[in-house]
Structure 1
Amino acid sequence: MKKYIAGLLLLLTIAACKKDNYDAPNVTFNGRITYQGEPIGVASQQVYFELWQTGFGKLTPINVNINQDGNFSALLFSGTYKMDLPVGQGPYLPASGHYGDTSTITITGSNTMNIEVLPYFMIRDDNYSLADSVITATFRLDSIVKDPALAKAISEVSLYESTLDLLDAQNNKVATTLSGANITGLQQITLTLKVPPDQYVSQSYIFARIGVRLAGIDDMLYAAVVKINL
């Protein structure tokens, strides 16, 4: 009886080892979220897209987080995946303009691929200057989604400043905001912000970034982070 139990335990141990002895993911999938080749800025690690792969037991999505400059990177198994942009993720629509339109990608070896989307707006010609401890940012907004059934209104625009280059609505030292109701035109928007005196003591440069919040959309659209010498 003892020999039987010992043999049974050995078989169960071998089976468990075989079950857990899968190779680790070893394929890198890199890319950037873009519109006509231009990167889409978001809050770092707050926006994601989904990859679905069958053949590994329960079907669950792999969430691929997006960095603030629009870049992403994921370590995966080789194979074929369905890629989906979930509803409410990002300040954009899928490139088709409709949610639920998945695309199929095959990943073998390291892959680099940009994912085209349809942003509601694009930040253009952003420019930053510093004088008398005041940052002045000017920019314009291009409305990309024209369909009234899909378009979104501008809730507010903001200028963020920090001593760190990780910069968004949650990660900043100082911010200033202009309500969408007070924007008189999209072709010339100006924001100003006073740099705190203590930042002149700690280092010789700061970082700034413009953000746009849209009505009914959680994730903001951002310009690229810029470095400003003090």
Structure 2
Amino acid sequence: MKKIFLYATLICGLCSCGLDNYDAPTASLSGAIIDKETKENVPGQAQNGTKIRMYEFYNDEWSVQPNDSWVSQDGTFSNTAVFTGKYKILAEGPFETVEPIEMEVSGSKQMNFEVTPFLRISAEATSNETGKVTVKTSVDNVLDKTVQAVEFYYCKTPYVDKNTFTAKESVKLGTETELDIATYSHTFENLKSGKTFYFRVGALAVNPGGFYNYSKVIEVTVK
């Protein structure tokens, strides 16, 4: 019985060694999601927002399970855990569907996706009164979709979106949800003077993935 146990242990050990002998991924893929019209990065949501999906071509077929990576809130992405090989690469987010790109990935590869966002959001934030910051935004309904939500956020850190904020204010929408361009404003009050906060606007147009479009993050020191 002891000999059988010893043999079994040796076999398991050898199998474990075999599994551990795979080379670690040495390639990387980085780039940005770029607005086709403005040529600027499309701001995003760091977690559960825009994602890059990489399907590897292996054993004469495309893998079923993708290698996913999130796009940062500034619209850039970087996946440093990629095996050298051929991939079909897709981008999913708050923009019109884009065709997948097939390419060989080795070393440090760079690529961008040019997209048409559902909404194009610009914003500015100013502190003209003690303890107050006013945020003004313009929401361009690029693809004439129904706008379901427009939200103002602020946060104590630079990372701010619909899931990460210190305070949020939702706009009560009316018939302007069908307009090409609509403007809104909100004033956050009772903020501590001299402190720096980060402001942002997010908006949701009807889309199957429930993806939000965003403005850039704006840093403001309260008056």
Q: Report the TM-score when normalising by structure 2.
A: 0.81
User: Could you tell me which of 205, 213, 220 is aligned with 2:212?
Assistant: 220
The DSSP-based 3-state class of the residue aligned with 1:39 is: coil
Unaligned runs of 5+ in 2: none
1:119 aligned counterpart, secondary structure? coil
| Equivalences, count | 213
Q: Is the 8 A contact 1:160 1:175 kept in 2?
A: yes
Residues 55 and 216 of structure 1: is their aligned pair in 2 closer, same or farther, counting only changes over 3 Å? closer
How far apart are residue 93 of structure 1 and its match?
Answer: 2.0
Q: What is residue 27 of structure 2 aligned with on the other side? A: 27
Offset of residue 79 of structure 1: 1.2
Are 2:165 and 1:177 aligned? no
List aligned pairs for 1:136-215, cutoff 5 A: 136-145=134-143, 151-181=144-174, 183=176, 186-187=180-181, 189-197=183-191, 199-200=192-193, 204-215=195-206
Q: 1:123 corresponds to which residue?
A: 121
Q: How does 1:29-108 map to 2 (within 5 A)?
A: 29-36=29-36, 37-47=39-49, 48-55=51-58, 59-74=64-79, 75-85=81-91, 89-95=92-98, 101-108=99-106
Q: Secondary structure at the match of 1:157?
A: strand
Q: Displacement, 1:20?
A: 2.8
- Given that 1:140 and 1:189 are in contact with CA atoms closer than 8 Å, whether structure 2 keeps it comes out as yes
For 1:68 and 1:19, the matched residues in 2 are separated by 37
Q: What is the CA-CA distance between 1:222 and the residue it aligns to?
A: 0.5
Provide the rounded CA distance (Å) in 2 between the counterparts of 1:131 and 1:108: 52
Q: Deviations over 1:148-167 (max 9, x none)?
A: xxx52111212111111111
Identical columns (%): 21
Partners of 1:220 and 1:164 in 2: CA distance: 20
Structure 2: distance between partners of 1:9 and 1:207:
57
Is contact 1:123–1:142 with CA below 8 Å preserved after alignment?
A: yes
Q: 1:13 to 1:142 in 2, by over 3 A?
A: same
- Cα distance change, pair 174–6 in 1 and its aligned pair in 2 (3 A): closer
Write the deviation string for residues 177-200 of structure 1: whole angstroms up to 9, x where unpaired: 213325385545131122334x33
Secondary structure, aligned partner of 1:38: coil
* TM superposition shift of 1:115: 1.6
Query: In structure 1, how many angstroms separate the alpha carbons of the residues matched to 2:126 and 2:3?
Result: 81
Do the aligned residues in 2 keep the contact of 1:183 with 1:189 (CA within 8 Å)? no
User: Cα gap change, 1:8/1:136 in structure 2, threshold over 3 Å: closer, same or farther?
Assistant: closer
- Give the distance between the partners of 1:11 and 1:205, measured in 2 at CA: 61
Task: Report Cα offsets for 1:113-157 as digits up to 9, x if no partner.
Answer: 212222112124x22212223322223233332xxxxx5211121
Q: Over residues 188-217 of structure 1, what are the superposed CA-to-partner deviations in whole Å (9 max), with x where a residue is unaligned?
A: 5131122334x33xx621110011111345
How far apart in 1 are the matches of 2:181 and 2:104? 42
- Report the TM-score, using the length of structure 1 for normalisation: 0.79
Could you report, residue by residue, the CA deviation over 1:37-69 in whole angstroms, capped at 9, with x for unpaired residues? 321122212122311113389642111111111
- CA 1:174/1:4 → structure 2, altered by over 3 Å: closer, same or farther? closer
Shift of 1:102: 2.4
